Amino acid sequence: MFGVVPKTLWQKAIPADENNLCSFAMRCLLVVDGERKILIDTGMGNKQSAKFFSHYFPHGNDSLLESLQRLGFQPEDITDVLLTHLHFDHCGGAVSCINDKLELTFPNALYWSSEAHWQWATKPNAREKASFLTENILPMLEKGRLRFVEEKKGEKTSFSPGIDIMFTNGHTRSMMIPLVHINGRTLAFVADLIPTAAHIPLPYLAAYDMYPMISLEEKENYLEDAVANNHLLFFEHDATTVCCTVEKTEKGFRKKETVPLETLI
């Protein structure tokens, strides 16, 4: 998760257990934007085999559907599923196994990817192949619910009146970073560009980024913008910090303050 950064440094932020494992979240975000109910990412789901899950030791009591139900929403209410990218821990929950058949978890929703990333995921390279599982991906196309967000080189794309999309290419090809505009603030769903608050310092790059030098440049450019415009970063994988602001210090970019998500609403 921290690439070339020595464990003696990164474990101060996220300590490993006796098996050298760290706890991470798979935190999704529901955005109610007018009549649209937009779900950003879906976690890993629960349809894989026990052997598959044994590699990752999922734990905790929260689940995507139960979390939605606590907010008063059913799967049928979701109008859009916006998938930052198609690695299994971000899109696995988009498809469920029901009566031994693969069905879309959110039957009334359109499922959004980008065309470049879809081609990348469905014809994967050897290094990423284990992260792109056909059972998580192809049902979106087969059920006729797949749509593509237009990617404009060097520009953000408007997804809805309240959401712009920024594309990045270091972690994987054409990963989407949703920028949610609410009450005069920008909430950035930073996905695997910055998986946790511990990854804010520039050298803290995950070893599984496909192109780490591109990740480094994209991360620096984004954090400059985040500081200048007082963005609130929403972390998908941080087990303890949901959102924070960022500052630029003599030592580089650092977490400024933790901000409760509820303060935006």
Percent of the chain's residues with pLDDT above 70:
100
Sequence-distant contacts of 202-209: CB under 8 A, at least 24 apart = 202/252, 202/253, 203/3, 203/4, 203/5, 204/2, 204/3, 204/5, 204/10, 205/2, 205/3, 205/4, 206/1, 206/2, 206/3, 206/171, 207/1, 207/2, 207/3, 207/4, 208/171, 209/3, 209/170, 209/171
Please give the model's pTM, rounded to 2 decimal places. 0.94
Q: Is the pLDDT of residue 117 over 90?
A: yes
Percent of the chain's residues with pLDDT above 90:
86
- Tens digits of per-residue pLDDT, 147-186? 999 998 878 999 999 999 999 999 999 999 999 999 999 9
Interval 4-17 mean pLDDT: 93
Confidence at residue 49, expressed as pLDDT on a 0 to 100 scale: 87
- Tens digits of per-residue pLDDT, 204-243? 999 999 999 999 999 999 999 999 999 999 999 999 999 9
Q: Report whether CATH 3.40.50.10490 matches the domain 7-13+22-264.
A: no
Q: Is the pLDDT of residue 76 over 90?
A: yes
Interval 257-264 mean pLDDT: 90
Extents of the domains making up the chain: 7-13+22-264
